[in-house]
Amino acid sequence: MAKIKVTKVRSVIKRPKNQKRIMESLGLRKMNQTVEHEDTPNILGMINKVNHLVSVETK
């Protein structure tokens, strides 16, 4: 499976609780933190919900 890099580029302050939970479940807690995930439909759905808060790179 392909890997994707997800980087937190915007803060979750004053965001809905579900977006905060999605960011936590992706493993993104601090600004400019980068995590790698498998390119699965579950992960892509979560990224789609918070795409205005993250930057995504495919490998």
Please name every residue paired with 35 in a beta bridge, in sequence order, or none if there are none. Answer: 6
Q: What is the mean pLDDT of residues 38-56?
A: 97
pLDDT of the residue at 23? 98
pLDDT of the residue at 1? 82
| Beta strand extents in the chain (DSSP E only) | 3-8, 34-38, 54-58
Quickly state the pLDDT bin for 55 (edges 50, 70, 90).
very high
Which positions ≥6 away from 27 have C-beta within 8 Å?
33, 35
pLDDT of the residue at 59? 83
pLDDT of the residue at 13? 97
Q: Which amino acid is at 27?
A: G
Average pLDDT over the chain reads 97
E strand or H helix at 49: helix 41-49
Domains with residue ranges and CATH for the chain: 3-58 (3.30.1390.20)
